[in-house]
Amino acid sequence: MMSDMETTGGCLCRAVRYAITGAPLSVIYCHCESCRKHAGAPVVALAGYKRAQLRYTAGAPQVYASSAGVGRASCGACGTPLTWEGDGGEIGPMVEMLVGTLDRPEDFAPSCHIHYAERLTWFDVADDLPRYSEWHDGGEAPACHGPAR
Ligand SMILES: [Zn+2]
Ligand SMILES: [Zn+2]
């Protein structure tokens, strides 16, 4: 049962560990500049959940308020970026985990690209997934359902 699945993850130094109950609402690539800066990476993959699905099992991250109502968590010891978190609209409080911090990232393949217009042009995206210039609110691509940024 997907609703029974538990996903674990954490930072590089293992000071911060987390567990998530249930399946993700979305798994996306985000090409926005804020995610790029936060992660120090050309693009990030994010698995989105209701905030209530997440609990920290060791340590606590520090959360940087990157804009009004938006937090970005990282480990205060090793610096690993961990989340985007904020208002998910109809979903309510939402958190997106950086897929690279999951213990089994292989299991979380993204289903679309968002903020594609902000991508680095030298980063060649060689897949056939949908590409959206802004956050995509579902409809034609339910797998990309999620909050406005
Ligand atoms: Zn750490
Ligand atoms: Zn982003």
Cα of first residue to Cα of last residue in the chain, in angstroms, is 30
Distance of CA 140 from the midpoint of ligand 1 (Å): 38
pLDDT digits (tens, 9 = 90+) for 75-105: 999 999 999 999 988 889 999 999 999 999 9
User: How many whole angstroms from its chain centre is CA 70?
Assistant: 13
Distance of CA 89 from the midpoint of ligand 1 (Å): 30
CB 25 within 8 A of CB 49: yes
Those residues with Cβ within 8 angstroms of residue 108's Cβ, 6 or more apart along the chain or in another chain? 24, 27, 45, 47, 99, 102
Distance of CA 121 from the midpoint of ligand 1 (Å): 31
Domains of the chain and CATH, by start? 2-139 (3.90.1590.10)
What was the pLDDT predicted at 76?
A: 98
Task: Name the residues around ion ligand 2, CB cutoff 5 A.
Answer: 30, 32, 35
Task: Name the residues around ion ligand 1, CB cutoff 5 A.
Answer: 11, 13, 15, 75, 77-78
Q: Which ligand is nearest to the Cα of residue 76, counting in written order?
A: 1
% of the chain at pLDDT higher than 90 = 76
Q: What is the mean pLDDT of residues 32-36?
A: 94
- 3-state secondary structure at position 132: coil
CB 47 within 8 A of CB 135: no
Residue 132 confidence (pLDDT) above 60: yes
Distance of CA 145 from the midpoint of ligand 2 (Å): 14
Distance of CA 73 from the midpoint of ligand 1 (Å): 11
